[in-house]
Amino acid sequence: MGKRGPKPVDMGLLNVWDFEFYKAFHSLRDGIALPQRNLPPPSGLSRPKLRAILRKLKRMSAPEYWRASEQMASNFDKSVDLGSRPDAVQIDWAQSSLQEEVCRLEQALTPKRIEVQLQRREIWDELVRANTHSALEKACDRWSRLSDVGVRGLTPFPEHVLANASQFFAMKRNKRFPRSDYGDDSRMDYLARGMAGVVVGVSPMTAIERLRNMKHTPDGPLWNAAEQRCRCWRCGLKKSEKMSDLSQQWYEKGLQVFLKIADKMKLKRS
């Protein structure tokens, strides 16, 4: 006979699905999987120089971008370990940052279409407001029809939400659901954590509470003793954001230096 009581939650798996739903929701709302770094578009570079930089960035892979970022960050923060290998979160951050960098330069050359951003925001708002199956079905259908969703293989996410509509509605009816006009980021966290629970097979509210209260210290479930850090995606993102904060000190000139570093690293490997 099996043990009675609630089954233990696989926090590693819950962390993975929390990350995947967070990226899917963030991509729906903002067109990019992870939060932007709020850097201004470059203004002191000529258009030919911008085009040359843009071409180089488009040829870079996410691991190349991450490695060059680490090398660049080491100029400001000597604690950066240049011998470490990127994990899945850091590769996702690099891919998102590289995409963001390309978008910023493209916007500097050709202003981005604001109506596309408004459309994404509208669909996200419909998803958050939906309280009937027909309203949720309409929002998920519009979400799945976004051009990048099919290309990037993200259609399972609106499908998961629609297939588990009753639990999705229950999450939003709960008194803990963030309802403030300024709580959109909190709503995204809440829904991502809850949907992660649905996929893993635990109650959405259990998942929300376990992830929200998870310890990120040596006694936490995802602590890596060898690396002396928590391996959850949020801690990984904070580390990446730290490098992003450093990058604001040298953005326009540093972007060119960054690409020179990347070029030298390619030459060493060839």
For 219, the enclosing helix (H) or strand (E) is none
Give ∠ CA 118-120-124 in degrees, rounded to 5.
115
Whether 236 and 89 have beta carbons less than 8 Å apart is answered as yes
Mutual orientation of helices 11-30 and 88-109 as an angle, nearest 10°? 10
DSSP SS3 for 60: coil
For 41, the enclosing helix (H) or strand (E) is none
Predicted confidence at residue 213, as pLDDT, reads: 94
How many helices (H) and strands (E) would you count in the chain?
13, 2
What is the amino acid identity at position 119? Answer: Q
Gap between the Cα atoms of 42 and 251, Å rounded: 8
Predicted confidence at residue 250, as pLDDT, reads: 46
DSSP string, 98-143: HHHHHHHHHHHHS---HHHHHHHHHHHHHHHH--SHHHHHHHHHHH
Joined tokens for residue 185: 């980021």
Predicted confidence at residue 113, as pLDDT, reads: 55
Predicted confidence at residue 1, as pLDDT, reads: 45
Tell me the average confidence (pLDDT) per consecutive run of 10 residues in the chain, 270 residues long.
64 94 92 66 67 84 82 63 75 83 75 69 95 96 89 87 96 94 93 96 95 94 89 83 53 61 65
Joined tokens for residue 141: 């259908």
DSSP SS3 for 179: coil
Whether 258 and 105 have beta carbons less than 8 Å apart is answered as no
Query: From residue 213, how far is each of 91, 170, 193, 216 by CA, in Å?
Result: 26, 21, 12, 9
Whether 212 and 14 have beta carbons less than 8 Å apart is answered as no
